[in-house]
Structures are given as C-alpha cells and as structure tokens.
Amino acid sequence: MMSSLAATQLVPLAEELDKNKVTPGVLGFIVFAVIGVAVWFLMKSMNKHMKRVDFTEEPEPSAAPVASGEARRG
C-alpha cells in the first residue's frame, strides 16, 4: 500500500522533467572517458605483470627436508 502511494507521488515529478534537457552532458562523457582510459592502463599493466609470472610448481631441493623435519617436531 505504501509503495503504490509513493509511486503515485513521484509520477508528477517525472512528468515535469523535459526529456530533451536531461542528459549526462559533457561532464558525464569526460568522466566516462577517464574511467575507460584508466581501465585500459590497468589492463595493460596487469598483462605486463602476468607475463612475468612463472607458474612452475617445483619445490626447492633445500626447502623440502626442512619442512618435513619441522612437521615431525611439532
């Protein structure tokens, strides 16, 4: 009941707005363009960092005995 009352009160406010004048304008375009450029730079940086990552999962020979020795003591 309350939501229908609120909706009927907002309808006249929406009709008062001129649909030709309500636009994001130049500022909206500039903000959107800056966000797009920022995402492009972040993706470029991420790709550069991901190329440097080595995904081999071979344990180091010196690290394996130390880890197993500590596990027996604890």
Structure confidence by residue, pLDDT tens digits, 6-59: 666 666 666 676 767 777 889 999 999 999 999 999 999 999 999 998 877 777
C-alpha dihedral sign at 27, 31, 36, 42 = positive
Please tell me the predicted confidence (pLDDT) of residue 9: 64
pLDDT at residue number 55: 77
Query: What does the alpha-carbon distance between residue 8 and residue 13 come to, in Å, rounded to a whole number?
Result: 10
Four-point Cα dihedral 59, 64, 68, 71, nearest 10? -60
pTM given for the model: 0.46
